[in-house]
Chain A
Amino acid sequence: DAKTTQPPSMDCAEGRAANLPCNHSTISGNEYVYWYRQIHSQGPQYIIHGLKNNETNEMASLIITEDRKSSTLILPHATLRDTAVYYCIVKSVDSNYQLIWGAGTKLIIKP
């Protein structure tokens, strides 16, 4: 079973920040939080990952709460091309495979 809970869908206006929440209340100390997205008819695309500190790259920012039980993926200026299903995944440092995926959040960017 997936270890994360995400809302099934969200809307966001083009140009605004899209904030996608993820609950991972049972996360353990050796588990990372990963975010991938999947645009329609394409393979999943890696976005970002983190352990306990906030992370930022050219695509997004990842904010992890201090107790690590939840996180938020932030797309700072959403475009229509960001419409996709976004998956939040927890992955143990002791496992080099086994990404366990939930159903994700369908993010729709509206003009």
Chain B
Amino acid sequence: GAGVSQSPRYKVAKRGQDVALRCDPISGHVSLFWYQQALGQGPEFLTYFQNEAQLDKSGLPSDRFFAERPEGSVSTLKIQRTQQEDSAVYLCASSLVSGSTDTQYFGPGTRLTVL
């Protein structure tokens, strides 16, 4: 079946530009997560949604980062006034329910390069 999809797969932005990254979770999955992965490192948690509710945004690095999931399905991660340090792969994951041991399934990621 269809997995988690993300678009675009690659994004190049000039410093100061705004970008929007899209995540389509697996259909019916309640939980959705965003992670940031710098080159050569493991992913770092950014934010978590249960349906449309953003229950944790403690990992967002600054107020330039904003995420939404208005209808409890597709999610968008927006970065305003991009900086070079925002260059990373942004990963989206979803899980069926919100249970503590539920498996997270990841998309392929969006590689953001800020020039």
Contact = CB atoms under 8 A, between A and B. Distances in A.
Asked if A and B bind, the verdict is: yes
B100 A92 contact: yes
Q: Could you say which of A42, A43, A87, A98 has the most chain B C-beta atoms within 10 Å of its C-beta?
A: A43
A99 B4 contact: no
Interface string A26-66: 00000010000000011111100100000000000000000
Contacts of B109: 42-43
B42 A87 contact: yes
B28 to A, nearest CB: 17
A46 B103 CA distance: 7
A64 B108 CA distance: 30
Interface string B20-50: 0000000000010101000011111100100
A101 B48 CA distance: 16
Contacts of B45: 97-100
B106 interface: yes
A102 B42 contact: yes
A23 to B, nearest CB: 16
A97 B42 CA distance: 15
Contact of A95 (B91, B100, B108): B100
Nearest to A106: B40
B33 A45 contact: no
Contacts of B31: 96-97
Given A93-B101, A96-B31, A96-B98, A44 B44 contact: no
A99 B43 contact: yes
Nearest to B42: A101
A46 B96 CA distance: 14
For the complex of A and B, 10 pairs with smallest distance between CB atoms: A101-B42, A43-B106, A97-B48, A93-B100, A44-B106, A96-B100, A96-B98, A46-B103, A43-B108, A101-B43
Interface of B: 4, 31, 33, 35, 40-45, 48, 56, 91, 93, 98-109
